Amino acid sequence: MYRLLHERYPDADCELDFGDAYQLLVATVLSAQTTDVRVNRVTPALFARYPDARSLAGADRADVEGIIAPTGFFRAKTESLLKLGAALVERFDGEVPGRLTDLVSLPGVGRKTANVVLGNAFGVPGITVDTHFGRLVRRFGWTAEEDPVKVEREIGELFPRRDWTQLSHVLIFHGRRTCHARRPACGVCPVSRQCPSFGAGETDPERAAGLVRTGPRA
């Protein structure tokens, strides 16, 4: 199933725009409960004003809130970003650490965010269990677990470590474009013959094709 999905999405990658580990970390924190599209719209202005952890640590709260407001929950996110910048400066000399244990010790950073940063900024394989990934692996019958940490562990046992980051990209791409939460486009799914959940959505190919969405970069 992974091979077939990889063939469908050969260019699957992180859909957050970033130039370095700091930018990816901030963008991923901002992506909570919003879309990558909205995050990508606000981060150019945010990074132009606060290009590194030191400037972010000393940022004006109201200014940051105004910049990131379109992402929602902007007050809580601003609080997380200011604390994140301060922690990076105080504990890591302003640099983003490249170890999972260090990343998850930072304010507002959980395993999902840490794995995104490790896999895409440091080349360290990691499984990103977001809502799309979790939904698909359960629909595929790869796991019955709901807890993200348990999902990460069980899926990690099914695939070579070298594939973890790309597996995450491919499944997230498929979840965003075809295997939707409410009405999956089963009729145009490349793994419909292997999927135990086939029929949960639209099975007619023509109607299913109308449900397929494009991604943030389209």
As averages over each run of 10 residues, the pLDDT of the chain (218 residues) reads 97 96 98 94 98 97 97 96 98 97 96 97 97 98 97 98 98 97 97 97 97 75
| CA distances for 194 relative to 89, 99, 140, 145, 210, angstroms | 49, 36, 8, 20, 22
From residue 121, give the alpha-carbon distance in Å to each of 67, 97, 101, 182, 183.
Answer: 24, 11, 16, 32, 33
Active-site pick, 52, 130, 147, 150: 130
Select from 3, 7, 4, 9 the least CA-distant residue to 176. Answer: 9
112 catalytic residue (yes or no):
yes
CB atoms inside a 10 Å sphere around CB 160: 9
Say which of 13, 112, 163, 204 is annotated catalytic: 112
Total Cβ atoms within 10 A of residue 189: 23
Is the CB of residue 180 less than 8 Å from the CB of residue 201? yes
Nearest to 124 by CA among 7, 2, 24: 24
Domain assignment of residue 53, yes or no: yes
Any domain includes 214: no
Would 215 be classed as within a structural domain? Answer: no
Q: Is residue 218 part of a domain?
A: no
**Within-domain flag for 34:** yes
Single pTM value for the model? 0.92
pLDDT recorded at residue 217: 56
Q: How much is the pLDDT for 216?
A: 61
Please give the pLDDT value at position 4.
98
- Residue 80: CB partners within 8 Å, gap ≥ 6? 29, 107, 108
- Among 85, 100, 121, give the residue marking a domain's end: 121
Alpha-carbon distances, residue 198 vs 21, 141, 143, 157, 181 (angstroms): 39, 11, 16, 24, 13
Q: Where does a domain end: 121, 145, 164?
A: 121
Taking the C-alpha atoms of residue 102 and residue 130, their distance in angstroms, rounded to an integer, is 20
Give the per-residue pLDDT at 214. Answer: 81
**What amino acid is encoded at 4 in this protein?**
L
Domain count of the fold of the chain: 2
What residue numbers bound the domain in which 25 lies? 21-121
Domain boundary among 98, 121, 144: 121
Co-location of 58 and 83 in the same domain: yes
The verdict on 86 and 162 lying in the same domain is no
Q: Annotated catalytic, 77?
A: no
